[in-house]
Each structure stands twice: as structure tokens, then as C-alpha cells.
Structure 1
């Protein structure tokens, strides 16, 4: 057997290292030398590397206190390697167990064998194998090297040393190009094997711990220009390499440089490095470019920064206009960004939205009603998916209509309890009050490791959307602390409790509850159970539309509890499924589309939930709360994780099936007595700020004019 030196540079990838290293240690090909090159990682990551080095004799740790970059780390690995072949692996990626064996089996006398790289956001349960593919002996070399990556290539160490192959140490991005260009020149054949997979992880947190490719775009572009300029000079006499580099440069310019310069502030910062590179492009390579790009390149070559900036601005205007005509909404977004947002801002106009336009509810509702009563000189706009009956003279606009974009662009204030769309640019002077919609039990955003939701860019999108918030409401100190870390929120936290919970402390709440029961047509002689579960991150149709399977046996509940109770079903606003209550008529009522869940709190005598934040609000009433947690282990350990210990801290029992739920309700007085101590501690911690006056305090703080 021939030895393979696997070189793995490591920089602060503690959360990914076990998957990566286990996938190498357990390879079916065992004659390995595993070189872990620690590139200045923190102590926790260094400790984990030492732990692995101590448990497998094939692992060697090369430790560097100072970070030198991935190029230097890989060069250090080459210097230390003693294998017949070298194989590079990034420390956040992982391999199917037979990848290296297949490479070794098929490489024969070739200098390099390249496999297939597959991008993933979450590791599949089984890293798949493909057994019916074949080696393609002569793949087009331009196609083989265009990704600028050395990953998933088994390379002869004799070839590496013979051609003095090294990685660039002057840049963080694109350091592989300096290594790969000599390969392209000196290899006679370019074999590629589709059955050798490599899983390239697309990190879900490009804010806290980004991969190199997720760094600031201006830094990535500068590195590319530095590498291009260096190699163009180095291979000036090699027509094939020069042609390859020029083709890659022009592709990169269209895909990356132009997108960077959509931000006009980047033009003066980046112009010089791009201009130097553009001068090195062979004029013949420009012939097939479209007239807009060709003119831009010529302005770069002639160092005409002012005219280039105007061209780039026009380029993006035309590009956006071309995209806009593809749909009505894109036309509206184009108008919003290019025209509406430049119109005069109305200093006393407010746009309200609750739960993505689905409801007239929650804290935005309370804030609106307070302002409608006491701030008559303001103009109010409500965003809805469909027209609603609401008090006052607020103008209603359909979400994503032309009027919606016009009013958002010209209003000084936005008030919302969920995230507004990514494409809404926030203009200077605009004030965004984010009321949020619950005390967190489930881990949120940057406190989560893996993302199992429908949107793998959840963290990036959330970060961009939350940078627009000027105020954020917290219901308790616990929430305030979590929001600062999980949302990376550093602006004004309003620590008054939730406006939506004021009604739960209203002296007239019992009278209002009786009125609501009559309004809803519920029997006045029966108690009310409210079932309000949350959604599951991994069970979805598409982003924002989640599946839900009702796991309560409504028919059995009706038989045992129907003489004394009725049950109201209230699904999370993300849940798209209609809930079937067949066979439980007169007992089960579906209130999923009811505007405001606070109404349902008032009329209910018992709450059943799972991991929804509703129980934090409901606790203000000091009424029984039951937790139907049939999938507790999966939800806690895989999908989300919790901030508190549910088994010890929640103010009610954790129940696993319908029989448990029914039996607990039948003995509700005994259960309440059993959890009395828990409930008192819970109330003090999570409801202590709620005094019934949060709305007035928030309005006074935010709307100062």
C-alpha cells in the first residue's frame, strides 16, 4: 500500500472538527498520515486537536500559535508530509468512508486524480457512495481547474516536489491558484472520477465564524486581483495560461466584481486594484464581451474612475430594471428602491404589520390602539394579506402591493413583530420598532449550531434584517439577555414587558372573557382548553410554510372530557396545514385564523402547548399549563435546543401521549397543587415586568415627536 498524507489546516472549527476527523480516521483506506495544521486556533480548538492526536497514532499535530493563513498551513503540511500522495481536506468538510480508497485505486500512473465536490448545509445521515460511475481520462483542463480549488484531488508527492508546488501565503482567498497553475501546465492528462465524493460544507453562520468564501466581499475581490496580477506577470510568456487567467478574470468580473460595486461606496475603494488587473487583460479577450462590460473594462484600463462609476451605476439600474419586468412584485421593489425611497419622508406616518400581514394582533395592535386614542395627529397604515375589520381610521394596504412599498418608503416609523422582507432598504431617519413575538424557549439564530429549517441562509438573512431594528422589546431580563446574544442586538432594548400582555392584567379581563365567549358562540357552561403548539424546523413545504400532524386524539378527548370542556386549536402562523376536527364537532373548534391569540388566553381555563413561547405569556394568568412534548428529545437535541431545562423549570407536567393529556386534565387540581412551587418561581422570573402598562411606556419612548 502507498501512504497518503492527508493535510487538514484548522482555524477555530471546533463545532465541525469531530465530523471531519471521524470521516478521515474511519476511511476504508488505512495507510494514512493525517497532518493537522493548527493555524492559530483558540484554546478550545487546540485542546480538541490534541485529544484526537493522542487517540490515533496516524495523526500528527503541527501547532502554530500565530495565524498565518490557509496557504501557509498547507505549505507547512507539504513540508512535513512523508506519503506517496497528498490529499487536502478543509476542517469543516467531511468524506464518505471510501473516498480515499477509490482515489488510490484509480489514480494509476497519473500525477493527479480529481473527484466530485458536493456542497451541503447539513450532513446527511449517511455520506453516500456512488459505485457505478467511471473515471474520465481526459477532462477539459479549463473545466477541471476553473473552481480554483485543490480539494478532493489526490496528488503524487513526486509531482508536487518535482514541480515545487506551493500555495500563495500573501492572500487568504484564492491561495490555491498558485498551486494549481503549474499542475495545469505540467500534467499530460486530466483524469476525473465522479464516484469519489467530497462533502463541502456551506457554513450556516457567515457572521460569527465565516468560511473564507463568506468573508467581506471587498476583501475577497482584493485577494483575487492580487493573485491574478501576480500570476499574469509570472506566466507572461505562456499563452495558454495567460488565456485561461484572462477568461477567468472576465467571468469573475461579471459575477463578483460588478455585484460588489452595486454599493457605490466600493468604487473608489476598489478601483485601483481592479484597474491594474484590467490593464493586464489581453485586448483580444475583450472582443466577445457585451458592449456595457467592454466599455467598463476600457474605462478601468484607461483609469477613468469618474466615468467608470457612472457606468457601474447605469449598469445596475439597467440590470435591476431588466429583472423587475419579470414579475409585478419585482417592478414594485424596483420602484421602491429607485424612486419611492427618494420621496419626502412623512414624519408622523407609521406602518404596522403583525405576523407577516396575517393578523390584526399582538403588540403592534396594542401600540396602534394606544396611538389611535391619544396621538390623533399621526397617520396610520396597516399591512395585511386581506382586508380586516379594525378600529379607527387606519389605511389598509395589501402586503406586497404598490401601495405597501410606497407607504414603507415614505413612513418615518415601521412597527412589526416579525421580520420585514430582505429587499426593503431602510432609509436614513427611518425608525424601526421591532416588538418581537415571544419569550424564547427554543434556541434562536446565533445561539443555534446547525440549521434544519427550509432556509439554509437563515442566519445571514436574519442578521441583515435585524440590522435595521432601532428598538426591540423584551418581556423580562431573561429575554433581554438572550436577544442581545442571539440577535447580536446592540441598539435600544425596551424593557417594559410586552404590550400584547397588558390585557392579561386588565381589571376587566373576566368581563371581556365572557363577552368573547358569547361572540365566538362557545358554550358558557363549559371550561375551555386552548391547544397552541409550535412548528417543527425540519418538516416543511417551503420557507414560511410548515407541516403539522395533530397528535391529540380529539375523539377520545371528547368522550372523556366533553361534558365539562371544549378545546380550541390555535396553530402557529407558519403552519400551512388545515387541521381536521372531523368526529369532534361541538367539542373541538379551530381558531387558527383568529386574529389575536390574547383573546383565546382570556377565555381559556387550561393551556396545552409544547415548545411555543405562548406559555410564557399565559403564565401571567396563573392558570394551568400542560406540555404535550411527544418529540422532546428530537426537538431539544437535534432541531433547536432549549435555553431552560424543561424537565425542571416549566410550571406544568411534560406529557407524551393523548392518554397522559386526558388523565392530567381529569386531575387538574391535584396537578396544579403539585406544580405550585414551580409556577411561583416561573412567574417571578418571566412575568415580573408585566404590570399592564407596557404599551404606554413603549409609545412614550419611541414616538417622541
Structure 2
């Protein structure tokens, strides 16, 4: 019997250390829970992660009793987190899975079969693949070795080729009794895997192999501690000193000293050659430390390898940094860097389309200048607009200039400073501004200078797949260069988020080094600050008569079709809703004016509000929202008013664009209210009253709990304080139950009567 049945220990204890991986953690945990072999426990250790990783673990633990969420009181690093997990483990075998990696679907089943066949060896080695953000999968270097071993069970001390396998702990399973009785624990700092791999392999008597890919090893573009430079990489010397201390207590392993010495030196040189680990300022000191370790552990009679590798060893052994440089060991890396910089400068030269931009780029930055843009320069709108207004209040010394495309100058509010793209002043402000705020990306020809700060506000909560995940959906990619997309995202210093769902997605699909501002969406502040008078004024401006029920229909764009194609018979729906209901229709801004929609508007059957400049006013005026997959549903949820999901192409949309959750599941937290796939179902929802029933109100409450997480009327203030004023974000978001959204039109109309 398995532990999950309440009898005995589980076959596997899976230890997952967790720290700042909220964009990847769910995928990791899902890969474990989806295993075809279910006799396991998960010890997921929150190493005092500053993001929502701990909450995600608690969520999964509440859902599946096989997951144990452990929260450390202090951050101790990956080694201490693994030790904490091992202390709680009860399984026959220990598995260590990094929280940004995943298991293949049948990994545990294949492991269990091989362990049974090999009669429970001390260690089981298995295969992995490297996965890259551009969807490349690269086989490991050990595939052939694992395959050649077949059913053999061996001692690693006699088969040193297995000590050359990738020295990580997640490509092997450890028999827990062997691990605990051997007194193995992880040490502090980086390169702890190498120490654990060598000491356990040298202690094991029986090792077996599994020629099957069990782990998908994610090559993160940014964020991995191993590719972040700094003095923490000097820990490699401490780890290998511990290895040789270990050997000193085991004389029977002396014949392996030359082999392990060579592995150590090769690891030193591998790390030294990477600017992503050892920075130029630390190279000389690193070299001296590596040379000292070389001389301290040089085996008697040791012969270095032949060729260039041997020359590197000898130079390190002599301890002469100058001779090491003469071998071009350091210069090779520096030349590579210089070539890249030269190429970058050439690219910059090509992209700097005007001499004005080049000229102004040589001038100092203006610390009091901010550039704003929204929706590809369509004017003052969305999150940038809300941040702009709050900055005018809290940081009035920061001068704002909006980028507005030619032909839309007359839409700019009076008193707002702006420039047209390509104009002389445009190049000046783009070269000299310190702050850049946009809800999309600035053009490729804008080069981010040192000291410039970019704030990416986004313009919606992602239901559809975004960023690098669009690669899997050709209709959504449409020839997009994802490398250039990430180069643009590399400019971001801050990414504004309205809920945990968005934060997780942005960090995963834009693997760059920005800081997430979990502040709420500034454009949604109005939904908590608007008064009854504001609601009634919006309706009056739109010409909605008192007592009428106003319904906003706002469908989104379809990647798989060109132009606006109505997904419903608008005339049928307006007549079905009856004379007391006003249907406002807003097409996506990607589309031009639709003649059929304009005709229905002219006939008085509906209101075409596609060109209405302020979508927030439309939401304030509406008693209910009908939409499909548009992110407007997440914003409208702030108002706590009915949301009706109408779409006849869910399956097609999922296949063509991909989604982050199942909107049509009908489950709390995923579906915000009524679901309809035909005009008749939609009309019936209104006629029956289900659109505002207790059932749909309960669904809406769960949806708001998940997605109206940070929005409370103070999002813009939090962003301005953090970015422009250099303060901590404040105030803290209020609990959802304490927030008061703008009154519904019915309640707003009743306010005067109450006086």
C-alpha cells in the first residue's frame, strides 16, 4: 500500500526548494501531480520567498494531501531548503526537483519499474533534456552512456565515467536509508550539487541507470543564480575543499584522487571562462584562489592532459596570471565580449535613424523628464494615463511629454505636452528623458541609455497566451521575432501587475530582469474613486435614459480571422433584450469602423461606442458586461457587476491562441458568471434573471477574489511612489471585503432620493 492510502511509506519523496519562481512553480507542481505513478509525497520548501510562492504552495497543499508545504522562517539558500525537505521525508527514495523544472509525464513510473528491476540500488541515474525559451529541446550528453549500461548495477568507484555525468542532484534518485545513514547534507552556497554528487557516488555500492528522459531542465534566459555574476561563485573553492576533506577520511579512494583533481580543475576553468559568473574585477583573485587549490591538492606524479587543456592546467599550477593571459584564456572571453559590443554599437548606429537622436544621446539625461505613451501612441489613455495624472499630483516637478501619432493631435487634452514620432523634439525627449511609461513597447530604434527607467504597465490581465508562449500558436505569432520581443522587454525596469495571476505570467513569458510592481492597474482606480454623480454623468453623456438597463458588449480580436466579424446577430439580440435595455457595442481598437454596426446605431437599435475615448466611463455607465475573452472582464470585475461570457468559438480560440485557464469550465475562480454560446442562450439569461442571480453572484465573487487582488483605488499612487519618488509602495491594498466600488447605475440613481 502507498502512503497516499494511509499505509506505509511512499515510494518517492520529492523535495522541491522554492524561491522567487512564481512564474514557473505551478508548471513544476502540475508536472508532479500529473504523473502516471501516484505513490509519492512532495516536500515543497518555501525558502522565505518574497513573492507569492508560499501562497501557491499552500493552495496546492490544500488541494492534494500528497503535497506538504513547508515554510522556512529565514532564507537559507537552496541547500538548506533541500535539507529541510529531507528532514520531513518518509519515502523509500529521495528525488530533488528544482522548482523551475518539470518531470516528464511517466517519469516516476519508469523510475519505479527500474528500481524494482535493480532491487533497490543506492542511486538511480536517469536522463534529462534541456529546454530553451524558443522551444528548443537539447538531449543531454549522457544519453548514450545511460543506454549502453542497460540493466547493469555497478559501483561508481569502479566506473569513473559515471562521475563525469552532469553533476546535479535532480538527475538521480537516492535511496533514503543510504542517504540518511551516510550523513549527507547540503552545504551553503553555490556548487553544492557537485559536492553532493561526488560524495554520494563515491559512497554508493550499487548504482543503476535508466535510459529515459525524466526531467525537463529549463534554461532560464534570466534569473538563474548560476548565470548571475558575483563573488558568490568563489564558493566553488569551499565546496571542492570539502570534497578533498571527504577523501582524506577514506584512504581506499586514493586511486581516484588524480581523476577528481582533474574534474575540480576543469570545473574551476569552466567557471572562470564565463563572464556571467566571474566579473573582470574579480578575475585575478579568482585565479589566485584556483591556483592555491591546484597546488594544495596536486596528486603526486600527476600528468596534465595533453594539448590546450594541459597548457591551461600548467599555467594555473604555476600561478602566473600574466602567463595565463598570454595563453589568451582570459582574452578569448574578452574578445568575444568586444565583438558583441562592436556588433551592438553597429546595430545602435543603424537604429539611430537621425543625427539628432545621436547628438542628444551624448547630452546628460534630464532627471525631471518623463515620456508617456499608450496603445502605440494613440493618446492619453489606460494605465499610463492614470499614472500621469497621479504623478502630476504627487511629483509635479517631473515634466511629462506624451508621444502621440500624427493625425491624433486634436485628441490630446488641453494643457498636455506632446510630441509626434519622428519630429525633432521627439528625438530630443527620447534621448534625454529619465522615465519612460508605456502599456506596449517603445520602438526598436529607441536605445535605452544607462540611467533611464522604463515602466511597462501592460494593458490587461492575460487570459490568452502572451510573450514567448505565443510561439506555439502560429496564428498568434504571425511572423513575430521573439528575440526582438525579448530585447524590447529587456528595457523594462518595472512591470505593473494587477493580480498574482498576471505577475506569474509576465515573469514566465517575458524572462527578463524587471521588478514586478504588484500594485494594481492604475486605470482601474476610477472604479473605486468614482461617485454616484460620476456614474450618472457618464450615462447622460452617452444618452442613456434613466431607468434603462445598459449592457456593454465588448468582444476581443481574433488572431485567426481578419477584420471585425460579428460573433452574434446584434439585431436579434437587441430586439430580444427588449426596449428597456440599451446595448452598447465596442469593437476592438484594432478594427476600423464597421458599416453594419454603424447602420444599427443609426437605426437606434444599439449604441456603437467603438470610438468612445474613455472605456472606463463605458464600464461605469453599464449595468452589466457581455464579453468573450477580452481582458475588460477583469477590469469590470472591480465594479462587482454582472459579467456574461458569450462566445461560440471557445475550442477554436484555445487551439489558435492558447489560454491560461479554462474560462468555460463553470468553476469558481475561472468563470465570472453566465456562459452563453448562442444568441438564444444569451437572451434567455436576461429574460430569466440568471444574469444577476445568486448563482452568478457567487461565481463573480470567486472571480473577483482571484483577479481583483491589488486594485483598490490606489494603484497609480503606489506606482508613482515607488518609481518617481523612490519610496516603498504604499498604501497596502485593502482587503477585498473592505473596498467599495463605484455604485451601480441603479444605486447611483437612488442616491439623490435618499437626501
TM (norm. structure 2) is 0.52
Deviation at 1:276, TM superposition (A): 0.9
Question: Which residue is equivalent to 1:27?
Answer: 37
Would the alpha carbon gap of residues 435 and 448 (structure 1) be closer, same or farther in structure 2, given more than 3 Å must change?
A: closer
> Retained in 2: the 8 A contact 1:135–1:191?
no
Deviations 1:294-320 (Å, cap 9, x if unpaired)?
Answer: 999999946999xx9x98996686154
Deviations 1:202-237 (Å, cap 9, x if unpaired)?
Answer: 99997xxxxx95897537524334324554786898
> Retained in 2: the 8 A contact 1:20–1:94?
yes
Question: SS of the residue aligned with 1:227?
Answer: helix
Question: Which residue is equivalent to 2:190?
Answer: 173
Question: Which residue is equivalent to 1:251?
Answer: 270
Q: How does 1:139-158 map to 2 (within 5 A)?
A: 145-154=164-173
Unmatched runs of 5 consecutive residues or more in structure 2 = 2-8, 134-142, 151-158, 248-253, 296-302, 465-495, 602-606, 651-657, 726-755
Question: SS of the residue aligned with 2:128?
Answer: strand
Question: Which residue is equivalent to 2:374?
Answer: 354
The answer on 1:221 being equivalent to 2:237 is no
Deviation at 1:248, TM superposition (A): 3.0
Question: SS of the residue aligned with 1:238?
Answer: helix
> Retained in 2: the 8 A contact 1:364–1:415?
yes
Question: SS of the residue aligned with 2:169?
Answer: coil
The answer on 1:464 being equivalent to 2:515 is yes
In 2: Cα distance, 1:369 partner to 1:67 partner: 39
Deviations 1:276-298 (Å, cap 9, x if unpaired)?
Answer: 12554699689748x99x99999
Deviations 1:587-644 (Å, cap 9, x if unpaired)?
Answer: 4999879876468779999753468675798899x9997532668xx999768999x9
In 2: Cα distance, 1:144 partner to 1:555 partner: 73
Question: Which residue is equivalent to 2:554?
Answer: 532
Question: Which residue is equivalent to 2:604?
Answer: none
Would the alpha carbon gap of residues 340 and 609 (structure 1) be closer, same or farther in structure 2, given more than 3 Å must change?
A: same
Deviations 1:136-188 (Å, cap 9, x if unpaired)?
Answer: 12599768745321224256799979xx9664643243323223336777999
Question: Which residue is equivalent to 1:659?
Answer: 680
Question: Which residue is equivalent to 1:396?
Answer: 420
In 2: Cα distance, 1:327 partner to 1:73 partner: 44
1:89 pairs, out of 96, 99, 110, with 96
In 2: Cα distance, 1:407 partner to 1:413 partner: 10
Would the alpha carbon gap of residues 387 and 141 (structure 1) be closer, same or farther in structure 2, given more than 3 Å must change?
A: farther
> Retained in 1: the 8 A contact 2:186–2:196?
no
Deviation at 1:366, TM superposition (A): 8.2
Question: SS of the residue aligned with 1:259?
Answer: coil
> Retained in 2: the 8 A contact 1:4–1:87?
no
Q: Larger deviation: 603-612 or 240-249? A: 603-612
Unmatched runs of 5 consecutive residues or more in structure 1 = 123-131, 207-211, 480-496, 518-525
In 2: Cα distance, 1:629 partner to 1:609 partner: 6
Q: How does 1:335-484 map to 2 (within 5 A)?
A: 343-346=363-366, 349-355=369-375, 357=377, 361-362=381-382, 364=384, 382-383=402-403, 387-391=406-410, 394-397=418-421, 407-417=429-439, 427-428=450-451, 448=500, 453=505, 457-458=508-509, 461=512, 463-464=514-515, 466=517, 473=522, 476=525
TM (norm. structure 1) is 0.55
In 2: Cα distance, 1:179 partner to 1:149 partner: 8
Question: Which residue is equivalent to 2:299?
Answer: none
Would the alpha carbon gap of residues 46 and 188 (structure 1) be closer, same or farther in structure 2, given more than 3 Å must change?
A: closer
Question: SS of the residue aligned with 2:421?
Answer: strand
Deviation at 1:457, TM superposition (A): 2.3
Deviation at 1:449, TM superposition (A): 6.3
Would the alpha carbon gap of residues 532 and 560 (structure 1) be closer, same or farther in structure 2, given more than 3 Å must change?
A: same
Question: Which residue is equivalent to 1:276?
Answer: 289
Deviation at 1:352, TM superposition (A): 1.8
In 2: Cα distance, 1:35 partner to 1:608 partner: 42
Question: Which residue is equivalent to 1:494?
Answer: none
Would the alpha carbon gap of residues 689 and 191 (structure 1) be closer, same or farther in structure 2, given more than 3 Å must change?
A: closer
Question: Which residue is equivalent to 1:115?
Answer: 126
Deviation at 1:98, TM superposition (A): 1.1
Deviation at 1:354, TM superposition (A): 0.7
CA-atom RMSD in angstroms: 7.8
Deviation at 1:134, TM superposition (A): 11
Would the alpha carbon gap of residues 299 and 70 (structure 1) be closer, same or farther in structure 2, given more than 3 Å must change?
A: same
Would the alpha carbon gap of residues 364 and 62 (structure 1) be closer, same or farther in structure 2, given more than 3 Å must change?
A: closer
Would the alpha carbon gap of residues 504 and 360 (structure 1) be closer, same or farther in structure 2, given more than 3 Å must change?
A: same
Question: Which residue is equivalent to 1:557?
Answer: 573
> Retained in 2: the 8 A contact 1:37–1:77?
yes
Would the alpha carbon gap of residues 396 and 674 (structure 1) be closer, same or farther in structure 2, given more than 3 Å must change?
A: same
Question: SS of the residue aligned with 2:230?
Answer: helix
In 2: Cα distance, 1:62 partner to 1:688 partner: 31
Question: SS of the residue aligned with 1:115?
Answer: strand
Question: SS of the residue aligned with 1:193?
Answer: strand
In 2: Cα distance, 1:646 partner to 1:79 partner: 37
Question: Which residue is equivalent to 2:654?
Answer: none
Deviations 1:374-429 (Å, cap 9, x if unpaired)?
Answer: x9999875446x6443147833236xx9998874441144343467799976755x
Would the alpha carbon gap of residues 51 and 300 (structure 1) be closer, same or farther in structure 2, given more than 3 Å must change?
A: farther
Would the alpha carbon gap of residues 667 and 60 (structure 1) be closer, same or farther in structure 2, given more than 3 Å must change?
A: closer
Deviations 1:190-212 (Å, cap 9, x if unpaired)?
Answer: 97533352456899997xxxxx9
In 1: Cα distance, 2:375 partner to 2:352 partner: 22
> Retained in 1: the 8 A contact 2:497–2:521?
no
